[in-house]
Structure 1
Amino acid sequence: MKNRDEQTHQPYFFQLNQTPFTKTAPIIQPKAPIAMFIKNHLKEEVLYTNIQEGQVNYFSDQPFEIDHQHDGFELLFVLKGELYNHIEGRSIRYQAGDGCLMNRQIIHHEETLPGCSVLFINIQLDFMRDLLNSLTSTQLTQPIFQFFHKNIDSPRPQRNYLEFNQITLNPTAVFWSLLDFLQQELATTKIGATFFRKGLFLRILDSLQDNNEFKLYELSLDLSADDLLVARICQWIEKQNGLTSREEIAQIFHYHPDYLNTLMKQKHQITLIKYAEQQKIKYIQQLIQQGKSNKEIIKLTQFKSESHYYQFFKKHLGMTPQQYRKA
């Protein structure tokens, strides 16, 4: 990072501790209990915006891409376009509607592409402790709250993080509105803003673990390279609702399709295509439950003909779509 960048953003964005406890990457230390940070990657430069404690600050410069860690937690969500999240030597592609909740001590940096708009929420440990203390024992068993609970006071936080994908990209969904409301409350000094910030952030976390809106995955950096690769392949297939091919998977993950197929069979005793078919039939069942007609489903699931759709359905469920609707 250039010295000019440090002088520009450090007074109100964050502190960059150059004596990290891992001795491999600096630690980002936000100055506020909760802060929002937005990067808009334009054609030749990036517009950086920070919103915290009633202040909005911004500047434009070259992309800030340096390996770093956090002394708290970071929530990343792609609003538009795409980026690559480089996590300890592994590159993960995120598109609009994708994101992650990054554990502290994990070394990473984000590489935004032109046209990308990405939002970050940085959370200090004390802020999160207060939120967890307000939850019931039942709420603490929910996946995201459990993630925080397991890692917040551990002397050695687990080397894990959460990824989430919005099932249907929908900027008008409640989740997106909650992000807007949080931004407004972070930008104001009006009475009650602190309480609104806490409540809105809890609502945001709760939305992320809503199975009807997001698919949520927990990933560990301690997995072997092959196990992590298979986990990411399964995640990709699920995200596509099975509407993919061996060739597309191979292109996405930069491996030969035969190798990925062999690896999948070794780990899960199933081929890539069989796994994709399992996800596709689940998607069809969801569409039927939503009241979609067979004609709409055929279009959404990319069947070449009505007869192909019926054959596929009967092969996997042992009945016709009409019989399934009446069951």
Structure 2
Amino acid sequence: MQSEDMNGSHLILFDESSSVYQYFDINMPYLVIYESLNIGADLMVYQEFSENNRILKERQYTEFTQQSRKLHSHNFYELTFVLSGQLTMRIEDENIIYNQGDCCICNRNIHHMELMEQDTEIVLFLIKEEYIHDAFDTNYYYDRKGRPHSIGTVFDVFFSENKKNPLYDAKVYADYRILYQDSIEPLLKIMNQMITEISGTHSGKSHMMKALLCHFFEMLENDSIYKEEIHWARLSNEEQIIYQITEAYKKKNGIFSRTDIEKITGYNGDYVERIVKRHTGKTLSAYGRDFLIQKTAELLRDTDLSIAEICERQGYSNRYYFNKIFAEKYGMKPSEFRRQCYCSLRVR
């Protein structure tokens, strides 16, 4: 996906030269993107569809292949559908091939890249988590006694795994392998309806978009049309080190010493420091402080411990410094954060 030099694009690229990854964000609840490659015509096409807005960008394939590309991640869910040809998805440290009619759904923050190396067309649905909840939390049917029953989707798996590991979202993705090519036509019809709804301003369009999205997933999860498989992505060696450190910090209060880090990972502390900096943009100690501050917020919200007791429990003897780093994370002092939590509970 490319969003450089496209006025009006809702796809925002963050790319620091020092980082091994790119990061994307969207400033809309969802986007639909069409990409195609025609090698004979030396042409790549990018179309972006959002609320009352369309973008078309064409570029030479030979020009595109000369540019260095990075794996990217984002804080939204991405569904990639192969309209024609063959797509190679680089997901973390593995290449997976998808053919016409196949589909891949990547969890938030999983590193990946779409690689089109032959004539191929794909459609991508980029969807914020809030929009998914809005669409699927009210997706239910009533039984004969008038009782509502929720209709689950693959996102339930993602949400569940992310709650277990909120600071390092689960490296999970879902494959949908089409069983019969004849089944593609109804899916294409739904996608075309979505594009029509996006472009309009008529009454009920927001409801129609959610209904179409629910219907689309109903077809994906129909085992007579698709074979569904949930995968944990294979982590690179560096990703594995980050994961080990993250898991260790989640189980411990306080910053690890350099010796502790070396025991946990099996690598030299300076090497681990460089990896953490490259992957997170933070020093090892700053990365560890994130976990301490999050735990502090939980204690302020869920316990009656005094701020002095929490400060001591978290290993901070300097109250001023403790307040400073907490405010950098949450935009307010610990006392203000606790007061705001109490106010929210009373409102409920």
Gap runs ≥5 in structure 1: 226-327
Distance 1:214 1:60, change over 3 A: same
TM-score with structure 2 setting the length: 0.57
8 Å CA contact 1:139–1:145 kept in 2: the answer is no
Match of 2:26 among 20, 30, 43: 30
Distance 1:51 1:162, change over 3 A: same
Distance (whole Å) between structure 1 residues aligned to residue 203 and residue 100 of structure 2: 34
Q: Which has the higher mean CA deviation after the structures are superposed, 8-17 or 86-95?
A: 8-17
Distance (whole Å) between structure 2 residues aligned to residue 123 and residue 152 of structure 1: 16
Distance (whole Å) between structure 1 residues aligned to residue 36 and residue 116 of structure 2: 9
8 Å CA contact 1:88–1:106 kept in 2: the answer is yes
Q: What's the counterpart of residue 15 of structure 1?
A: 12
Cα deviation, residue 70, structure 1: 1.5
TM-score with structure 1 setting the length: 0.61
What is the correspondence of 1:1-327 to structure 2 with a 5 Å cutoff?
A: 6-9=3-6, 11-18=8-15, 24-43=20-39, 44-61=42-59, 62=61, 63=64, 65-136=69-140, 138-140=149-151, 142-151=152-161, 155=166, 156-170=168-182, 173-221=185-233
The one-letter code of the counterpart of 2:43 is E
8 Å CA contact 2:171–2:233 kept in 1: the answer is yes
RMSD of aligned alpha carbons: 2.8
Cα deviation, residue 116, structure 1: 0.2
Gap runs ≥5 in structure 2: 141-147, 238-348
SS in 2 for 1:97: coil
Cα deviation, residue 178, structure 1: 0.9
Distance (whole Å) between structure 2 residues aligned to residue 138 and residue 215 of structure 1: 24
Cα deviation, residue 89, structure 1: 2.2
Distance 1:204 1:39, change over 3 A: same
Cα deviation, residue 202, structure 1: 1.1
Cα deviation, residue 167, structure 1: 0.7
8 Å CA contact 1:42–1:115 kept in 2: the answer is yes
Cα deviation, residue 219, structure 1: 0.5
8 Å CA contact 2:3–2:9 kept in 1: the answer is no
Distance (whole Å) between structure 1 residues aligned to residue 106 and residue 7 of structure 2: 21
SS in 1 for 2:230: strand
Moved segments of 4+, more than 3 Å: 62-66, 135-140, 151-154, 222-225
